[in-house]
Chain A
Amino acid sequence: MSKSFGRNHKATKAGNPFDSGGRGRRWRDRLGTGVFAIFTYFILACVFLIIGKITLTGAPVLFQNEAPFLNAEFFSKSPMTLHEFEDGEGIKRRLDHDRFVDFKKNNPNAVIKNEQTHSNAGGGILGPLVGTVLLVVLCMAIALFIGISTAIYLVEYATEGRITNTLRLAIMNLAGVPSIVFGLFGFAFFCLSPIFPVFTAVPDWEKSLLAIPLWPSDGYLSFQGWGSSLLAGGATLAVMVLPIIVAACEESLKAVPEGFREASLALGATKWQCIRTAVLPYAAPGMLTASVLGITRVAGETAPIMFTAAVVAKGKLPWENLEGSGLYWLSSLLTQKVEALPYHIYSVSKLQSNEALDEMRYGSVLVFLFLVIGFAMISVVLRSRYRKKLKW
């Protein structure tokens, strides 16, 4: 910094009184700014690299050159074993397990040489995809029902006091608890504690606390815990997003101007009419944003479902081959283990690498990544549109 600004300004060449004269400060400024800029661009480069690598490697699996351009089989088949072999003419062939069985049945005399099997390298990702969708739907149904009601109670009904403050504090702190801890809780609570009932023809007498025979059907309502199941996984995930949902819904309820409530009440509306007609319609967009945000959060989680819901391979879709009908059918649908996309990725990540498996893995990861990022983007768009609309 020029110490003699003012007195000496004629000394500067162009005669500009505002020339700083010294170069030191400007260079230090540029250097500092440059370093920070490099840091920022470096982060972006890393992300770009990771997403780019996954996209480039995974895209060939998902897309193809001819119509319909999307590899339909990848989305319509579940993971299965891939058979790699040389046929009679010495041509290398790769067949999914179902095709391989057909092939052998149709060509009983076919020569199969150098057969190699790669587990999870064939088929597609239908099973895990369906499992993840079911888990997310179930989780959001539970979480939104309880979360929105809790927020309505806190904002519209509850007297501010110790209880509401405790609840708020607990909710705020729960958001930072590691997801694996929720998994532990879900395992002990939903899977094992015998306070959760199932409808079943054959109760697990060892675990069952109480089995009520349901006459006239020959089944029971058995309190034996949900076990590792779709329902337990969904409930665990719901507990995990509950803090996020409650906090976000509370915020959007509070954003509805007090004037709406006053006007509605002054016109003779009951409390519930006031909430239903003068509060909820205006808080709904915010709640929608919250739920999409919640979906982003749960769809990406692996740890809480690892031992509460997920299974490596199933070989059938959740609704296939279920026993019983009516309530029993529903109960066995909800209390079975499911495949889930993140857990599928986890289990195939640990397998020994080979060409066919790598394609499948990158394909699955790409689908999963874009699914989750897609939801995140929707929530960002929703939020900005909602903010713009919010001008009362």
Chain B
Amino acid sequence: MTNSTSTDHNADDSIIAIEDLSFSYDMGKTNTLRNISLKIPEGRVTSFIGPSGCGKSTLLRCLNRMNDLVETSRITGGRIEILGQDINAPDVDVIELRKHVGMLFQKYNPFPKSIYENVAYGLRVQGVRRMDILDQAVEESLRKAALWLEVKDRLDSSALELSGGQQQRLCIARTIAVKPRIILMDEPCSALDPIATARIEELIAELQDDFTIVIVTHNMQQAARVSDQTAFFYLGELVEYADTTTIFGNPKAKQTEDYISGRFG
């Protein structure tokens, strides 16, 4: 039941191609991810679902090499290509990679700086100094994140004064300010109330035009609502990957069916 690769898209329009990937957190003693292969199409929303500990977040963190922060983590097999480049090749600068692959975290984590500085942060670390460019980028990003109207009069106040939903949208604005090609979202709504969640979901739908979005979620309704493609993981393996409608309407694997119908998970 492994490697049921989607065949709906040919290799040309895929932005991320994962081939036979195995990954370990403990120097290769046990593999957290095993033989994963999938292709993620550009300009779409792809969601990763599965029970806790199935490896979906781990796979997400492999895509912008955030797992590098864990000293003992290793890619034990296979490769990941983004924009046709093997991202684990020795001559890849991880900093450059992350500029192309933005990430949004489970717990919204704005810096304890002003709203403006939060959004400008990514550009500042890239060496942008000109205020007019920064001002423009901040406004544009905040508008795209649907936050501009709420905060335009208090850009200098602390980001920590915003509500949870606003803070997460600020994090989205911060991410898109860098203009990545891909945005990874690691359960972006798990710390939010239903109303804030709904607004983030609307936002994801809007962002779809400009970015390729990969979202990890615990919430199957959310996956059904926001995503075009869905991949179901179980115990470190990819069980099924297909159009969302297919996965939720007519899953091929028994485990997928059990999971989405709520029999376990």
Chain A contacts to B: CB under 8 angstroms = 159-160, 257, 259-270, 273, 277-278, 282, 392
Contacts and interface: CB of A to CB of B under 8 A. Distances in A.
Given A262-B69, A273-B125, A278-B111, A267 B105 contact: no
A260 B126 CA distance: 17
Contacts of A266: 64, 66, 98, 102-103, 105, 175
Contacts of A257: 109
Nearest to A270: B95
Contacts of B99: 267-268
B98 A267 contact: yes
Contact of A282 (B96, B112, B124, B126): B112
A103 B150 CA distance: 80
Interface residues of B, number: 26
B33 interface: no
Contacts, number: 64
Contacts of B49: none
Contacts of A277: 121, 124-125
B69 A264 contact: no
B95 A269 contact: yes
Contacts of B107: 259
A262 B110 CA distance: 11
Nearest to B106: A259
A259 B102 CA distance: 14
A160 B27 CA distance: 14
Query: Taking each of A259, A268, A277, A282, which has the highest tally of chain B beta carbons within 10 Å of its own beta carbon?
Result: A268
Nearest to A160: B71
27 contacts: A257-B109, A260-B109, A260-B111, A262-B66, A262-B69, A262-B103, A262-B109, A263-B109, A263-B111, A263-B171, A264-B121, A266-B64, A266-B66, A266-B98, A266-B102, A266-B103, A267-B178, A268-B95, A268-B98, A268-B99, A268-B122, A269-B121, A269-B122, A270-B95, A273-B125, A277-B121, A392-B160
A267 B71 contact: no
**Best-surrounded residue of B64, B112, B125, B160 (most CB of chain A within 10 A):** B125
Nearest to A263: B109
B174 interface: yes
A329 B127 CA distance: 42
Interface string B105-120: 1010111100000000
